[in-house]
Amino acid sequence: MPEPAKTRAVFSTEDFSLLKKAVAHYMTLPEVQDSPDSIKFSSLYHRLGRLGR
């Protein structure tokens, strides 16, 4: 019976810092700051910070 293939990470650690920068920039847009989703983007920003460590 063949061994299962090893899973590979979808994102590299560098990707998390880039995504965090992109989310930080996106959150500065006035239409995002005034939207109900701004809290969700803030939470995402902080989660990305924890993952990129």
The pLDDT value given to residue 39: 94
- pTM for this entry: 0.72
The pLDDT value given to residue 52: 59
The pLDDT value given to residue 51: 73
pLDDT tens for each residue of 3-53: 888 888 888 888 989 999 999 999 999 999 989 999 999 999 999 888 756
Residues 6+ apart with CB under 8 A from 37: none
| CA atoms of 52 and 20, how far apart (whole Å) | 9
The pLDDT value given to residue 38: 94
| Residue ranges of domains in the chain | 17-51
| CA atoms of 37 and 3, how far apart (whole Å) | 44
The pLDDT value given to residue 44: 94
For residue 14, the Cα-to-chain-centroid distance in whole angstroms is 11
Task: Using only the alpha carbons of the chain, give its radius of gyration.
Answer: 16
